[in-house]
Amino acid sequence: MKLSESIFELARKYESYTSTNLSKLIQHKSLSSNEKEVASLIKKMMEDAGFDEAWIDGLGNVIGRIGNGKKVIAIDGHIDTVDIGNIDNWDFDPLGGEIKDGYVLGRGSADQTGGPAAFITAGKILKEIGLTNDVTIYFIGSVMEEDCDGLCWKYIVEEDKIKPDCVIVTEPTNLNIYRGHRGRMEIEVSFYGLSAHGAAPERGKNAIYMASKAALEIEKLNERLTTDEFLGKGSVTISEIVSSSPSLCAVSDFCKFHLDRRLTKGEDKNLALNQIEEIVKGMNAKVELLNYKEKAYTGLEYGMEKYFPTWVIEENDFVIQNGVKSYQELFGEKPIVDKWTFSTNGVVINGIYGIPVIGFGPGNEVMAHAPNEKVPVEHLVKASAFYAYYCSIF
């Protein structure tokens, strides 16, 4: 029997194991900076699956290792989820982890605890068949991704000193192979006015009016931003606006808005900031790239600026072609090679550190952050086979 056939057969054999593990993980609420219970459970699952070692680092990432070879591969899946939102929009218990009609149901099933559940099974398969190539594989359940994409990988590279030759990102791809996505950044623009009595507004300078003029120009900017054939168009939108004044009978002396800027190929931090600076030129305004700094569940305070670079891997790159080969030899057909709409840890893994990334994960990204989130059990099976085989022929 071919190696690909043996691995796929084992993935099917462990279908119930994989789906049950995912069900158990879903039953523990795991918001950003509150992943302790899920991290501990994943560590135990790794140990029970026979991983060579498993530990939790200073930021709270749970890391398992198999092998001790020269070539280093990491399989990444974040273990934090968004909250459940309005419970009335759900047709089932979002923290129930029910397995029904070929799906595992619940928050995080697609985005993206299904990835770690599948890679734990991949590790179990690899321990059973034995690694024959010269590789070290790190299986990483990463934290705080929903709040700050890639912060976990800044810690992994800078503090854990793990810098792989390749990373498989297990965010949902609908079992397609993904090779990039747009970057993003968060910008705050503050406007400073002069208050006066509302009965005589001409004596003051209204910060809201300044912000409104800038907002109209930002709307126009969005229309003329550049487009990339593969990644699509860059975009900018105002996602929040707040203001203040001494009273509701006074001219507003302060206003600020928050910009969600999506960056396509060829756009970067300096370009995006300069575009906004040009719009507010001549106004009493300040443009700032925001920073993130919060405490992990371990108590460690860690942060980075909220600039998440665009990244694209060429389709003929080895890490993508190894994925195409793995898919074809496992499943007997050519995969779709595409991109994510949303952002992932790839912004830091490849966007900052230049580590080659391939995306392959169970579930459909349309389920991300949505009510009635679910993942097909068949996706979990195929993903676990893919991770094991990809590493076996790397």
Catalytically annotated residue among 35, 57, 80, 149: 80
Other C-beta atoms lying within 10 Å of the C-beta of residue 50: 12
Peptide bond between residue 328 and the one before it cis (omega within 30 degrees of 0): no
CA 340, CA 326: separation in Å to the nearest integer?
20
Catalytically annotated residue among 57, 76, 111, 145: 145
Is the sign of the CA dihedral 363, 366, 369, 371 positive or negative? negative
Phi, psi angles (nearest 5°) of residue 140: -120, 115
Q: Is 80 assigned a catalytic role?
A: yes
Local structure of 105: helix, strand or coil? strand
Local structure of 99: helix, strand or coil? strand
**Residue matched to tokens 């029970």:** 48
CA 300, CA 33: separation in Å to the nearest integer?
10
Give the CB-side neighbour count of residue 391, counting CA atoms within 13 A.
34
Q: Residue 335 carries which DSSP code?
A: P
Element (H, E) at 274: helix 269-280
Is the sign of the CA dihedral 173, 135, 2, 388 positive or negative? negative
Give the CB-side neighbour count of residue 109, counting CA atoms within 13 A.
34
> Are 350 and 311 spatial neighbours (Cβ–Cβ below 8 Å)?
yes
Burial of 318 (0-12, 13-18, 19+ CB in 10 A): middle
Which tokens is 246 given? 């001494």
Q: Residue 283 carries which DSSP code?
A: S
Q: How much helix, strand and coil, in percent to the nearest 5, is found in the chain?
A: 35, 25, 40
CB neighbour list of residue 62: distance below 8 Å, 6 or more residues apart: 39, 40, 42, 43, 46, 54, 55, 56, 79, 140, 141
List, by residue number, the catalytic residues. Answer: 80, 145
